[in-house]
């Protein structure tokens, strides 16, 4: 089975990645692509690596990142294709798919590619499948959409099925290769120096009202350090003069963006990391941070207990509300409770590495593909 994995990358990440690798943009397509895969941004790169390393060679996986301009320019040059400055994000991936002729075109939640783009992709791929675990644009299913939708959110799976759309549950996972890569930096110890007591890594958008409220409270009552995107637009209701003269408490704790391996490094260097789901998660514990944090061996302080509890109480620390989160953060940061903190963190890591690893999830994914293909 030939599979195209199709996903856009965050523009801020791409800018940061090519700035850190200034000579990469002039390299051949495959070298650029492999560098992006090795940086472990998102889950699709892990799918590619796992499938293409399987011994039976039964499947072949390809990754298309349609908005990585230097990468796509290199492909166009190597394939004698005109690079249309006005339409390259759509025209180049169509040509790439045409050349591959996949059995499955599996796309992330990139809704700008629904409709006419998928009409073209249908000409060159036997099936179009997709992943959705995020808010949906209005009337999105009036356009061409995937014939099978996988999701980590049980309520989405149920909703899709009610609409007559094939849908299956697929949990998120942790790529254990990331752990191996970072642990090479620490030859004489299994645990990286945990220089951060308490961290939050993630984004702030208009869909994160609960997250904004939580961060405002946590910076006042805990030593939390903040990494991610959107913090430059963090709500600040003070008047303009006051904002100019004095930094908001959140701005004082903000340490900058963190992507790919850098993000995993910060998690590994955190004693505790805080997780709060997006408002539309509907009470389910399903986001990537649960697996990334536990996989890296940090103590995860998280919401999401109840509807689909994927971690036991001795593997992560669940909080009931913000006051409870603050109390538990201080408890597990106290030196006398360090052994208890490490024990829970290690149990969470064991659960993730045994159950929510790349091999298991890719196996489940391929079974869904074969069923609907």
The DSSP-derived string for 161-214 is: HHTT-EEEE----B-HHHHHHHHTT-TT-SS----EEEEEEEE--TT-HHHHHH
How far apart, in whole angstroms, are the C-alpha atoms of residue 294 and residue 303? 14
Phi, psi of 228, deg, nearest 5: 145, -150
How far is residue 157's CA from residue 166's CA, in Å, rounded to a whole number? Answer: 9
State how far the Cα of 372 lies from the Cα of 106, in Å rounded to an integer: 12
The residue to which tokens 């951060």 are assigned: 196
Q: Which residues pair with 166 in a beta bridge?
A: 148
φ/ψ bin of 248: left (φ > 0), alpha (ψ from -120 to 50), beta (otherwise)? beta
CA angle at 115 for the pair 110 and 117, rounded to the nearest 5°? 75
CATH 3.40.50.2000 range(s) for the chain read 176-355
Structure tokens at 345: 């963190």
pLDDT tens, residue order, the chain (373 aa): 999 999 999 999 999 999 999 999 999 999 999 999 999 898 999 999 999 998 777 999 999 999 999 999 999 999 999 999 999 999 999 999 999 999 999 999 999 999 999 999 999 999 999 999 888 888 888 888 999 999 998 889 999 999 999 999 998 899 999 988 887 755 555 555 689 999 999 888 766 778 888 999 999 999 999 999 887 666 554 455 555 545 678 888 999 989 998 999 999 999 999 999 865 545 555 688 999 999 999 999 999 776 667 899 999 999 999 999 999 999 999 999 999 999 999 999 999 999 999 999 999 999 999 999 9
- Annotation: CATH topology of 2-173+357-372: Rossmann fold (3.40.50)
Beta bridge pairs of residue 299: 272
Q: Is the Cβ–Cβ distance between 288 and 295 less than 8 Å?
A: no
The hierarchical CATH code for the domain 176-355 is 3.40.50.2000
Query: Distance between CA 208 and CA 328 in Å, rounded?
Result: 22
Dist. CA 20–CA 158, nearest whole Å: 42
Q: Which long-range contacts (CB under 8 A, 24 or more apart) does 84-91 make?
A: 90/66, 90/117
- Residue 166: C-alpha distances to residues 181, 282, 300, 310, 357 (Å): 37, 21, 33, 24, 25
Distance CA 65, CA 60 (A): 17
Phi, then psi, of 81 in degrees rounded to 5: -110, 140
Q: Are strands 148-151 and 166-169 parallel, antiparallel or unpaired?
A: parallel
């Amino acid at each position: 089975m030939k599979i195209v994995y199709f996903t856009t990358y965050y523009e801020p990440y791409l800018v940061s990645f090519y700035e850190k690798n200034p000579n990469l943009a002039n390299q051949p397509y495959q070298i650029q692509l492999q560098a992006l895969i090795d940086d472990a941004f998102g889950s699709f790169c892990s799918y590619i690596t796992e499938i293409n390393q399987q011994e039976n060679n039964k499947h072949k996986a390809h990754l298309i990142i349609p908005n990585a301009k230097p990468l796509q320019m290199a492909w166009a040059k190597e394939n004698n294709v005109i690079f249309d400055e006005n339409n390259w994000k759509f025209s180049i991936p169509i040509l790439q798919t045409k050349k591959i002729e996949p059995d499955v075109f599996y796309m992330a939640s990139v809704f700008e590619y629904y409709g006419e783009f998928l009409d073209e992709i249908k000409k060159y791929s036997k099936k179009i499948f997709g992943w959705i675990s995020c808010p949906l644009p209005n009337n999105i299913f009036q356009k061409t959409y995937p014939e099978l939708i996988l999701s980590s959110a049980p309520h989405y799976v149920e909703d899709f099925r009610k609409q007559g759309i094939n849908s299956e549950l697929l949990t998120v996972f942790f790529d254990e290769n990331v752990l191996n890569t970072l642990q090479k930096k620490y030859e004489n110890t299994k645990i990286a120096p945990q220089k951060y007591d308490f961290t939050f890594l993630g984004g702030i958008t208009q869909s994160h009202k609960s997250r904004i409220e939580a961060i405002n409270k946590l910076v006042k009552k805990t030593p939390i350090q903040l990494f991610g995107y959107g913090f430059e637009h963090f709500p600040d209701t003070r008047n303009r003069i006051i904002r100019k003269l004095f930094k908001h408490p959140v701005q004082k704790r903000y340490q900058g963006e963190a992507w790919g391996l850098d993000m995993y490094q910060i998690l590994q260097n955190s004693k505790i990391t805080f997780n709060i789901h997006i408002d539309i998660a509907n009470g389910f514990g399903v986001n990537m941070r649960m697996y990334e944090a536990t996989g890296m061996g940090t103590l995860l302080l998280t919401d999401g207990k109840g509807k689909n509890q994927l971690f036991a109480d001795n593997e992560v620390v669940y909080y009931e509300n913000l006051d409870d989160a603050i109390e538990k953060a201080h408890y597990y940061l106290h030196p006398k409770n360090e052994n208890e903190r490490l024990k829970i963190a290690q149990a969470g890591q064991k659960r993730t590495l045994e159950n929510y690893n790349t091999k298991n999830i890719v196996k489940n994914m391929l079974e869904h593909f074969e069923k609907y293909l």
